[in-house]
Chains A and B, each alone.
Chain A
Amino acid sequence: MKQTRVPILHGDKEIPLDNYYFFRSCIMSTLFPGVDCSLRFIFEKLGCSYTEDPKQTCCSGFNYHADIIPWETNVTIQARNFSLIENEEKNKNAICVCPTSYGNIKECQEHLDHYPEEKEKANKIIAKFGKEYKGEAKIYHATEVIYAHREKLKKLATYSLDGLKVATHHGCHYTKIFYSDVATGDWEYPIVLDKIVENFGGEGLDYNEKTLCCGMGFRHTLINRDYTRTVMLRKLKSMKATKPDLLLVQCPGCSLNLDYYQKPLTKLAGEEFNIPVLNYAQLTALVLGADPVKVVGIKTHNVDVMPFIEKVQKNKVKEVAQVG
């Protein structure tokens, strides 16, 4: 199988260049379906084989961190999902679009692999419908995959991000739970997204609160928004000081917060932000020439992304008809 090596804290890890199991995220598909569409668009452009398995259920990571799904249940759900991945003929590399999926299913896998008796317990339950977790599933985050394909993607690019300044925000559940596995090596100053931006000619911005959480807090964004607003304001203020054209994120939860809260925060704090928010896959698809509405799905954004897209579309590097 084709793969490439990407640096992590100590040494490097292998990122497969093909054969993906598209591990969908409920929040992403609910709030930003355009990210799914963009990822499909990218996979097709790259000629990568991937599986979209209707049988895959939610990873339940949101519920787990929102304190409503016991650990035992969480682990067993994952054992079932892993068995689906293992049963794939070739597309065995799970690609999570959401950092919480990534963190959660990786934590479950570690648990199942570390405690044989827990694995047995989970397997006993899923054996009732003929499934078994063997311990072979491999888990990656989609940003790592895009980073791994960067050279080919650059060649495929229709537009360049030349002259555009992009602030990035990495998902805490990607960088902080499995901190030794963060692609490009540093969890305290992650730059996978910046590398993606720079690959297309843009500039990744350094702002003071770069590693601060978006304030999601799971239960907080549902019912205790004072927390979310307060953290978010700090984050956005610091970001705004560097005058970004775009905020690039990695996570549906962060996208929800950083995009949706800008307007209420303007009302509350009297400060205008108006920073368009896109996900890594959306930006990549956009640069590859995808349709902003039909593929990138910008209609699901609260802050208007169109001004940014217009800036990008001025930087045409290749004459390619837009693909719908």
Chain B
Amino acid sequence: MAEIKLLEEKVGSIRKKETMLESLKEILDDPRCPDGFLECMQCATCVASCPAARIYEFNPREMMRQLYEGNLEELLKGDRIWECGQCYTCMSRCPRGNNPGGVIMILRYLSCWRGHGLKKIPYATVLMWNLYTKGYSLSPDVFWDGFIDEFGETAVNMWKNMKEIRKELGYLPDDARMEPIPEESMKELRAILDETLYRKYWDNFEKNGVAMKDLLDHLGSFDYYKPAWKEEK
């Protein structure tokens, strides 16, 4: 009779208890979540259009279904959501007005807030700080060793001379533009970053035990990272 009991236990564990909309609340409440998400008819136009689905076992259709089934946490912990290339072809073709790429982006942020995804975004150490100090996502001085190497000798030599090339065009060597963003505007930008979730997102790394400095290893040797905000102030 032991087997029968075991089988019964299995049946008990697959019984769904939560209601559908409850488990999806965090996603559905996001203003960017499209109406079409619940209307998904599993047609797979998204998959058939997706550059990532062609390479990986990435499957936006299945992910929409998993969400629908309430398996949110599983998705957030997994690697799959990080394979999307954010090209939005799925959204432009979905016959039910859904935006799988957009929903996946919402999932990525959720995953980071929960702490799972932080190691997937090691460049945050560089780029988040760059925005805070200079006002740009990217500027010529943020590229770490190894970023350019792959592109061959021409590219490496070009980047060695990049400061000169930029000067020739009237651009600053280490700033994105011809003149830096004025300090006044930077103060305004920092006020925005401080008062919105940006700072919390940053603090979230430490809170989840992911040291920003350790993340730099993912990028190869690199000394751009500045001390934490607290010390700066």
User: A residues within 8 Å of B by Cβ?
Assistant: 24, 26-27, 29-31, 33-34, 37, 54-58, 60-63, 65-73, 76-77, 80, 103, 111, 114-115, 118, 125-126, 128-129, 131, 172-173, 175-177, 179, 187-188, 211-213, 215-220, 222-225, 227, 230-231, 260-261, 263-264, 267, 293-294, 297, 299-300, 302
In the complex the two chains form, what is the Cα distance from A179 to B120 in whole Å? 30
B2 sits at the interface (CB 8 A): no
Determine if B138 and A177 form an interchain contact, defined as CB atoms under 8 angstroms apart. Answer: no
User: B residues within 8 Å of A by Cβ?
Assistant: 30-32, 51-52, 55-56, 82-89, 91-92, 105, 108-109, 112, 117, 120-124, 127-128, 131, 135-140, 147, 150-152, 154-155, 158, 161-162, 165-166, 168-171, 176-177, 179-182, 184-185, 187-189, 191-193, 195-198, 200-201, 218-219
Determine if A264 and B158 form an interchain contact, defined as CB atoms under 8 angstroms apart. Answer: no
Determine if B131 and A60 form an interchain contact, defined as CB atoms under 8 angstroms apart. Answer: yes
Determine if B128 and A294 form an interchain contact, defined as CB atoms under 8 angstroms apart. Answer: no
| Distance from B160 Cβ to chain A, minimum over Cβ atoms (Å) | 12
Residue from B31, B105, B169, B188 in contact with A80 in the complex, judged by beta carbons closer than 8 Å? B188
A-B contact pairs, 30 of them (CB 8 A): A24-B176, A26-B176, A27-B137, A30-B136, A30-B138, A54-B177, A54-B181, A62-B137, A63-B128, A63-B137, A67-B108, A73-B192, A103-B88, A111-B32, A118-B31, A129-B191, A172-B89, A187-B92, A188-B92, A212-B51, A213-B89, A217-B84, A217-B85, A222-B147, A227-B56, A230-B55, A231-B51, A294-B169, A300-B158, A302-B151
Determine if A57 and B198 form an interchain contact, defined as CB atoms under 8 angstroms apart. Answer: no
Which B residues lie within 8 Å of A29 (CB)?
171, 176-177
In the complex, which residue of chain B has the Cβ closest to the Cβ of A219?
B121
Which A residues lie within 8 Å of B189 (CB)?
57, 77, 80
Residue from B52, B88, B112 in contact with A67 in the complex, judged by beta carbons closer than 8 Å? B112
Top 9 closest A-B pairs, CB basis? Answer: A217-B85, A213-B87, A26-B136, A70-B197, A176-B92, A263-B152, A62-B137, A73-B196, A176-B88
In the complex the two chains form, what is the Cα distance from A55 to B183 in whole Å? 9
In the complex the two chains form, what is the Cα distance from A61 to B105 in whole Å? 13
In the complex, which residue of chain B has the Cβ closest to the Cβ of A231?
B51
In the complex the two chains form, what is the Cα distance from A213 to B31 in whole Å? 26
Determine if B51 and A24 form an interchain contact, defined as CB atoms under 8 angstroms apart. Answer: no
Which A residues lie within 8 Å of B87 (CB)?
172, 176, 213, 216-217
Determine if A231 and B196 form an interchain contact, defined as CB atoms under 8 angstroms apart. Answer: no
Determine if A26 and B138 form an interchain contact, defined as CB atoms under 8 angstroms apart. Answer: yes
- Asked, given contacts A68-B128, A77-B192, A125-B195, whether A54 binds B179 with beta carbons under 8 Å apart, the answer is yes
Known: A63-B137, A71-B30, A80-B192. 16 other contacts (CB 8 A): A55-B185, A57-B189, A66-B123, A66-B127, A67-B109, A70-B200, A76-B192, A77-B192, A175-B92, A176-B87, A223-B122, A264-B150, A294-B168, A294-B169, A297-B165, A300-B165
- Asked, given contacts A26-B176, A125-B195, A263-B155, whether A57 binds B88 with beta carbons under 8 Å apart, the answer is no
Which A residues lie within 8 Å of B122 (CB)?
223
Residue from A126, A216, A261 in contact with B188 in the complex, judged by beta carbons closer than 8 Å? A126
Determine if A65 and B86 form an interchain contact, defined as CB atoms under 8 angstroms apart. Answer: yes
| Distance from A224 Cβ to chain B, minimum over Cβ atoms (Å) | 8
In the complex the two chains form, what is the Cα distance from A67 to B85 in whole Å? 12
In the complex the two chains form, what is the Cα distance from A300 to B152 in whole Å? 14
Determine if B88 and A173 form an interchain contact, defined as CB atoms under 8 angstroms apart. Answer: yes
Which A residues lie within 8 Å of B193 (CB)?
73
| Distance from A79 Cβ to chain B, minimum over Cβ atoms (Å) | 9
- Asked, given contacts A60-B131, A62-B138, A70-B197, whether A126 binds B158 with beta carbons under 8 Å apart, the answer is no
